[in-house]
Amino acid sequence: MMQTVLALETSCDETASAVVQLKGGKFHILANFIASQANEHAQWGGVVPEIASRRHLESIPFLVEQALEKSGLTFSNIDAIAATVTPGLTGSLLVGAITARTLACLHDVPFLGVHHLEGHLSSAFLNEKHPSPPYLLLLVSGGHTELIHVDRELSYQRVGFSHDDAAGEAFDKVARLLGLSYPGGPAIEEIAKNGNPKRFLFPKGRVSNPSGGFFPYDFSFSGLKTAVLRKVENLKESVTEIPVADLAASFENVVAEVLVERSLKYALDYGLGTLVMVGGVAANKRLRQMMIKEASNKSINIVLAPTAFCTDNAAMIGTAALLRLKSGKSSSSIELGVSARHKLDQADLLYEAIPPF
């Protein structure tokens, strides 16, 4: 059985389109396009929602056309149209969702509203080695740092999360402190190549448990960000040139250590033999290398989302939609709207006859 989906992603500041096909149990990306707004938002130091929505509106017609042209298909070959509907910036989500619903109605095919985080989780299936439940998934991106226990297909239980900044947010904020460009992740990774990751010992933030001790699988990065700020302020008083490369490398290293240590602890504590890592920060080379090495030492299998599909893209949204179709979900309600927030463990509701929003 072969199914083909046209997918759209507009949850934040990347406008993306893709045509993805499920054939013989494998996912084939027939087209994948991304129009990034990073340079425009960089001058503001972060995403400006109004600008993001406007750029999505301008770009999406051309991206849909490009995706179909590259795939060599027409709408008559498309079995369903999918778009991210939650979570994200409301104005941005509306552009993709309304476009997808309109095209679905015009061409009389099903519409699937996809949870953005389920899209990231599905990016692991674009790896040649597909994960098989049960496994632990580390989702680490600009807006989310979560540990998710997947005990069966499309069943998610969050077992750890960041209580303040997500890891990606910490990268952006520390990059700004160090005078580096936006987005912070790639900027820090680039300059950290020439730095000493052991020069500065920054704290591994822990989250206190009111009952005593600490939550063993949760994260906190705000204290780390503050520690970098204080170190920069102290250095300004004693040196003529701030060692930006060493600061960046030391920061990057401690973030990687925290993510790896807590993820592997959960996997070992609960007897999970596979760990999957997805999300924008999962593209970081130091983190990937550390995770592979430490997991191997503990005989845990690692499945990484391909680097090209770690950041926001439509191929992962198409893959998520195809997995839903494979599971027996035929469509979402054409009346399904968008929501800035919606829990991942309630993603099933996006395919109910009466939509959750």
Residues 6+ apart with CB under 8 A from 310: 123, 278, 279, 280, 281, 282, 283
Partners of residue 140 on adjacent β-strands: 145
CATH of domain 2-122+310-351: 3.30.420.40
Neighbours of 109 (CB within 10 A): 18
Q: Does this model's pTM top 0.85? A: yes
* pLDDT reported for residue 142: 86
Neighbours of 329 (CB within 10 A): 17
* pLDDT reported for residue 44: 84
* pLDDT reported for residue 36: 86
* pLDDT reported for residue 100: 98
* pLDDT reported for residue 335: 97
Q: Which residues of the chain, if any, have pLDDT below 50?
A: none
Neighbours of 39 (CB within 10 A): 9
Question: Taking a C-beta distance cutoff of 8 angstroms, is the pair 257, 289 a contact?
Answer: no
* pLDDT reported for residue 267: 98
* pLDDT reported for residue 15: 97
* pLDDT reported for residue 42: 78
Residues of the chain with CATH 3.30.420.40: 2-122+310-351, 129-304
**Cα-to-chain-centroid distance, residue 208:** 26
Architecture per CATH, domain 129-304, reads as 2-Layer Sandwich (3.30)
* pLDDT reported for residue 41: 86
Q: Which token pair is 166?
A: 């997500």
